[in-house]
Amino acid sequence: MKILMCVPNISEGRDLSVVEKVAEAVKSVAGVKLIDVSSDKDHNRSVFSYLGEPQAVLQATKKMAELTFALIDMTKQKGDHPRQGALDVVPFIPIGEMTTEEALVIARDFGRYVGKQGIPVYYYEDAATSPERVNLVNVRKGQYESLAEKIQLPEWVPDEGPAEFVPRAGSVQVAVRFPLVAFNVNLRTEDVSIAERIAKALRHINGGFRFVKAMGLSLEGAGMVQVSMNLTNYLQTPLPRVMEAVRCEAARYGVAVAGAELVGPVPLAALEELVKHYLQVHDFTIKQIIETNCLQ
């Protein structure tokens, strides 16, 4: 069966009435199942996760995009999380028999749709049009505040839509990618520099993990800080390995781990290593889970 998953991030996590309206737009499309909505006030960001028949997912994504552009004004948006647009990132993820090539067709269709609305679009990850645009960090460098100047540079002409700054919407970053795990670890300190130093140590460019993107953020409402991470390939860099690295780095500064968060849905295979590591059941496989056999 060909299933397509989409995990759009919008630049709104405080006004939950806006989040709910966007969620309703997704749920209004037959053949699409909304499986998770996660909002964060400090990040001022919400993540939607839904899946279904590919054309239905495309239709739902167009509907949620239209509503997002109408409800979110980037000239007024502030938050701790990096962002470049009201509808900041739209990754399409092939599931089951769906191929990357088929997902790319959907992603290009969506990108052209947004571009025709007069909003700039950049493709990244497997949808990238050049090596410089594969990494979202590069595409979003400077964030919304630098977009007006950046978009005028020849090397940053949008892939779709006008090479013009649209203050209200910013730009939309569209991708096709492997299922990632959004994993955050909260630390019992208000010193954000500690989270930033730990994030730096985890990143590949500084000798850390090849498939971990990390940054340090302040959680002012909770009186803590956070190491916010994306594990872009949980098979190559398992969750427990990253967790223990954060714990070890935090101990260097005399800081305890307060807890962790998994944002949105998680592939079952990503949890296999947790059982192997923490229970020391080294030959465990997800085939031993009763429910996985019932679904086959």
Rounded CA separation 237/246 (Å): 13
Is residue 277 part of the annotated active site? The answer reads no
Asked if residue 231 and residue 88 are part of one domain, the reply reads no
The per-residue pLDDT for 295 is: 56
Asked if residue 206 and residue 158 are part of one domain, the reply reads no
Domain of 195, CATH number, reads 3.30.70.670
Residues whose CB is less than 8 angstroms from the CB of residue 106 and which lie 6 or more positions away in sequence, other chains included: 4, 54, 55, 57, 58, 92
Least confident of 20-29, 45-54, 274-283: 274-283
Last residue of a domain, one of 128, 158, 176: 176
Domain that includes residue 149, residue range: 2-176
Residues whose CB is less than 8 angstroms from the CB of residue 152 and which lie 6 or more positions away in sequence, other chains included: 163
> Residue 292 pLDDT more than 80?
no
Domain of 52, CATH number, reads 3.30.990.10
Token duo for residue 117: 């609305």
Asked if residue 124 and residue 30 are part of one domain, the reply reads yes
At residue 237, the 3 state secondary structure works out as: coil
Per-residue pLDDT tens over the stretch 212-261: 999 999 998 889 999 999 999 999 999 999 999 999 999 999 999 999 99
Taking alpha carbons only, the member of 184, 199, 208 closest to residue 257 is 184
* 17 to 6, 33, 45, 72: CA distances (angstroms): 21, 20, 13, 12
Higher pLDDT among residues 97 and 157, named by residue: 157
Asked if residue 168 and residue 137 are part of one domain, the reply reads yes
Last residue of a domain, one of 176, 202, 235: 176
Rounded CA separation 159/171 (Å): 11
Burial of 196 per CB tally in 10 Å (0-12, 13-18, 19+): middle
Higher pLDDT among residues 198 and 293, named by residue: 198
Asked if residue 153 and residue 193 are part of one domain, the reply reads no
Asked if residue 131 and residue 10 are part of one domain, the reply reads yes
> Residue 152 pLDDT more than 70?
yes
Task: Please pick, among 43, 81, 204, 282, the residue that the annotation labels catalytic.
Answer: 81
| Pairing, β 172-176 against β 87-96 | parallel
Asked if residue 66 and residue 130 are part of one domain, the reply reads yes
Asked if residue 190 and residue 172 are part of one domain, the reply reads no
Per-residue pLDDT tens over the stretch 170-192: 999 999 998 889 999 999 999 99
Least confident of 14-18, 19-23, 229-233, 266-270: 266-270
Last residue of a domain, one of 107, 142, 176: 176
From first CA to last CA, the distance across the chain in angstroms is 12
> Residue 205 pLDDT more than 70?
yes
Rounded CA separation 91/230 (Å): 13
Indicate the number of domains in the chain. Answer: 2
Question: Residue 11: phi, psi to the nearest 5?
Answer: -90, 60
Per-residue pLDDT tens over the stretch 252-283: 999 999 999 998 888 888 888 899 989 999 99
Asked if residue 145 and residue 9 are part of one domain, the reply reads yes
Cα dihedral: 253, 256, 262, 268 (round 10) = 100
